[in-house]
Amino acid sequence: MRYIWLIWSLLLIAIWLVIYSSLRSKSSRKEMLLVSLWTSALGLTEPLFVPAYWSPPSIFNLAARTGFDVESLIFSFGIGGIAVVLYELLFKVKHAPISGMEHRASRHRFHLLAILSAPIILVVLLLATHLNPIDSSIIAMVGGGLATWYCRPDLKTKMIASAFLFLLLYFIYFLTLIAAAPGYVEAVWNLKAISGILVFGIPVEELLFAWSFGFIWSSIYEHLTWKKLK
């Protein structure tokens, strides 16, 4: 059981490589790689979730001893790049810079606040409530996604489509874990601390995480780099 988390994370990298090689444009490949590198840093937040949300056996027993683990960095790298390009994998789009006139639109006054809204909401919820960290994260990502939608309504189609596309992919991906390691979810996830609702054996929080992550993260590249889709 110790290596399941590592193997499952590496499977995600295999999916990442398939998607990366399938992208039509160099700009989308660049976007996928850059966002994956940015997102890998989110793996450093793992101590928030261990053991409050789950306690995965990890290599060198790092998760149990420190809260950190190598697998989380790999997993975060994978989901970040995948979520940001799924829409571009299925629909032919190109990136173009936002014009100076569009830069001056009133909604862009909140550009920085919209980008920072998700971590701000997360910190507030962690400090002011007793919600499980995964629930706080889901709320923060939905709130941050709505802030992005307000600031960048041109990205709403990509955001909505990506939320459901990433949810579908993550659902199938999670089923591989259940098939390969029966009982792993019950042994590793802290089901008593969350809803305990399982959908085909998958904690519903995982599915909500996938939807909300796809919703907010699909727009992160365009939002940070002031680009739009054509």
Q: List the domain boundaries for the chain.
A: 4-229
3-state helix, strand, coil in the chain (%, to 5): 75, 5, 20
Look up the pTM and report it: 0.94
The confidence score (pLDDT) of residue 220 equals: 95
Are residues 62 and 46 in contact, defined by beta-carbon separation less than 8 angstroms? no
Q: Quick check: 63 pLDDT over 90?
A: no
The confidence score (pLDDT) of residue 100 equals: 62
C-alpha distances (whole Å) from 84 to each of 75, 129, 209 are 15, 30, 15
C-alpha distances (whole Å) from 135 to each of 48, 153, 179 are 12, 26, 26
Give the CA angle between residues 91, 92, 93 to the nearest 5°: 105
Cis upstream peptide for 56 (omega within 30°)? no
Q: What is the pLDDT of residues 196-208, one digit of tens each?
A: 999 999 999 999 9
Mean pLDDT calculated for residue range 64-92: 94
The confidence score (pLDDT) of residue 103 equals: 60
Mean pLDDT calculated for residue range 3-20: 97
Rounded to whole angstroms, how far apart are CA atoms 52 and 195?
13
> Whose CA is closest to 158, among 219, 97, 211?
219
